[in-house]
Amino acid sequence: MSSRHDSPPSLEETPGHACGVFGVYGPGQHVSQLTYLGLFALQHRGQESAGIAVSDGETITVAKDMGLVTQVFDERRLAPLQGHLAIGHNRYSTTGSSSWQNAQPVYRSVGDAGFALGHNGNLTNTADLASGLGMLPGMIADETSFDSTTDSALVAELVAREWPDEPRSDGRELELALEKVLPKLRGGFSFVLMDDARLIGVRDPHGFWPLVLGRLEGGGWVLASETAALDIVGAHYVRDVQPGEMVVIDASGLRREHRYAEPEPRLCLFEFIYFARPDTRLYGHSVHAARTRMGEALARQAPVAADMVMPVPESGIPAAQGYSRESGIPYGDGLVKNRYVGRTFIQPSQQMRGVGVRLKLNPLPESIRGKRLIVVDDSIVRGTTTREVIKMLREAGAREVHFRVSSPPYRWPCFYGMDTGRRGELLAADLSVGEIREYLDVDSLAYLELDRVRTATGAPPESFCTACLSGEYPVPVALTGTDSKLLLEAPVLDLTQSSAAPGP
C-alpha cells in the first residue's frame, strides 16, 4: 500500500480512514491552536474536511470546511476561535456524501444550551435508530450542516431528544443524555463532545478505533485518536479511554470515568498494519516496532532467494527492514517517492492510471537492474497500484520480483468506519493467491498469516477486530442489497498460502 500520509485519495488504491478526533480542555491555553496542531498530526486519518468547535464558557463557535487542515485554517480563521475548550475533527467520508454539509464537528442546540460532536467510526444500526425517531437517516440535520446525512448527526439528534427537560444547576445535561443514548448505539464510535464548559470522550464497547487521554504541560487535558497527536501538542499520555467508557473533563479535572457497557476490546487490526502513524502507540506497543516484527515474521514464513529487499515506500518500509534483518538479504531502495504529492483535484482517467502512480513513485534503475527483488508492502486492497509498481520495476530491469505482504488478503468490507468500497472492488475478494500472483505478474507472492500479524503486535491476539481479513464480524451487520449478496456468495479461500510461479 502506498503511504497515505500525504497522498491524495484520487491516486490511491488504499482504503481511506474514518476520521481523526481531538479535544482539549485548557484554560489559559490557545485551545484552537492546540486543536489545529492535533488535527494536523492526525491528517492521515481523513483528508476531506476539517473542523474545530471552541467554547469560551458561554458560546460555542464552529468553523469547518472541505480540505486539509492547512487549507481550512490559517491564523486569520483561528484568531476568533477563542475559549478554554475545543474539539476538532478530520473527516474521511464513510457514510453520507463527501460534502461541506457533512463536515464535522456537528453542532446542535437544545433550548438555550448547545453541544458539538466529532465522530470517528460508523454505526451499524443507523436505520433502526432513525426509524425509532420516526425519520430516515437522510432527514437528520444539524444546525451548522443543514441536511447532514451522517450517522453522527443522527447521534446528535438522539442526544438532543434525551436532553433533560429542566436545566440543572450542575450543568450535567450532556452527559446524562449520553448515558441514555450510548447503550442504544451499535458499531464503531470514538466520540469527542463538548458543551460550553465540559469535554467528553467516549469509546464504543469494542473500542474499534483508538482514543487516548493526555495531560498538557502547564495543566489541562487532551483527547486524541492517536498518541502521536499528544506528542505534537506537548501532552503526555495518561491512558486509553477504555472500550465502553465515557470520560468527562471540566473545571475540576477528570471528573468522571464512567463505564456504560462491559468492554469487549476489538481494536481494528489495521491500525497496527497500516492506519496509525508509526510513532503512535496502541495497547502500549509501538506501531513501528510491530510493523518491523511483521516483516521479520514474513521472512520466516515465506523465505525466497534474492539479492535485495525493498519496500513500496513509505508504507512498506518497516516490514521491509524487518524482512531484511531476519533474512540477511540486503535492504535497498528501488523506488523513490515524490514527497510533495499533495492533494490533487485532477482525477486520472483509467488510461492515465500509470501516470498517476508515477507521480508518486518512480523506480531507481541503477539499484534494480539485473537483481532478484523482494518487494514488501503492508497490504494490497484493489491491486491496481501494486500492478503498476511491479510493471515499473520490471521495465527498470528487475530480473525477478517476489512480492511479500505483511498482512493477510483483504477480502471483506469494513462496516465499522473504514472506507474500502464494496467487496467486489477488493482484489482478494474472489481471487486465490495464485490468481493474484498472475494478475500482479510476480514470480512469487506471499501474505503474512493472520496469527503471525496478531502476535507481532505484542498485544493479546483476541483483542482485535479482523473482520476484513477473516470475515468474522464482532458486531453483526444488517446487510442489504449488493453487500449481502457478495458476502453470501463469497468463495472460501486459503488465506495463508503463498504462491510461486510454476517452475520452468
Interface residue list for ligand SF4 (CB under 6 A): 208, 268-270, 414, 416, 418, 465-468
CB of 466 to ligand SF4, least distance (A): 5
Residue 410's nearest CA partner among 443, 377, 388 is: 377
Answer for the pair 95, 126: CB distance below 8 angstroms, yes or no: yes
Active site residue 414: no
d(CA 71, CA 205): 35
Q: How far apart are the first and last CA of the chain?
A: 31
144: helix, coil or strand?
A: coil
Smaller CB separation from ligand SF4, 248 or 468: 468
Answer for the pair 497, 444: CB distance below 8 angstroms, yes or no: no
Smaller CB separation from ligand SF4, 107 or 410: 410
- In this structure, how many other beta carbons lie within 10 angstroms of the beta carbon of residue 347? 11
Smaller CB separation from ligand SF4, 64 or 452: 452
- Residue in the structure block whose three cell numbers are 451487520: 477
CB of 71 to ligand SF4, least distance (A): 27
Smaller CB separation from ligand SF4, 221 or 270: 270
Q: Which residues of 327-346 are buried (b: 16+ CB within 10 A; e: fewer)?
A: bebebbbbbebeeebeeeee
d(CA 241, CA 160): 24
CB of 117 to ligand SF4, least distance (A): 21
CB of 208 to ligand SF4, least distance (A): 5
Largest CA distance in the chain: 82
Smaller CB separation from ligand SF4, 221 or 416: 416
Q: Strand runs (DSSP E) across 252-397, as ranges?
A: 253-259, 267-268, 281-282, 285-286, 308-311, 335-337, 361-363, 372-377
CB of 274 to ligand SF4, least distance (A): 9
Name, in order, each residue with C-beta under 8 angstroms of 74's C-beta and a sequence gap of 6 or more: none
Smaller CB separation from ligand SF4, 94 or 102: 94
CB of 426 to ligand SF4, least distance (A): 11
Smaller CB separation from ligand SF4, 35 or 420: 420
Full DSSP string of 174-187: HHHHHHHHGGG--B
d(CA 385, CA 391): 10
d(CA 265, CA 242): 9
Q: List % helix, strand, coil for the chain (3-state, nearest 5).
A: 30, 25, 45
CB of 226 to ligand SF4, least distance (A): 15
Full DSSP string of 10-74: GG--S----EEEEEEE-TTS-HHHHHHHHHHHTGGG--SEEEEEEE-SS-EEEEEEES-HHHH--
Smaller CB separation from ligand SF4, 269 or 290: 269
486: helix, coil or strand?
A: helix
- In this structure, how many other beta carbons lie within 10 angstroms of the beta carbon of residue 358? 15
With both helix axes pointing from N to C terminus, report the angle between 450-457 and 287-301 in degrees, rounded to the nearest 10. Answer: 140
CB of 465 to ligand SF4, least distance (A): 3
With both helix axes pointing from N to C terminus, report the angle between 287-301 and 317-327 in degrees, rounded to the nearest 10. Answer: 50
CB of 10 to ligand SF4, least distance (A): 21
Smaller CB separation from ligand SF4, 11 or 465: 465
At 307, the amino acid letter reads: D
CB of 220 to ligand SF4, least distance (A): 31
d(CA 116, CA 108): 6
Smaller CB separation from ligand SF4, 81 or 468: 468
d(CA 124, CA 25): 30
Query: How many Cα atoms sit within 13 Å of 237 on the Cβ side?
Result: 17
One of 19, 268, 465, 468 is an active-site residue; which one? 19
Positions marked active-site: 19
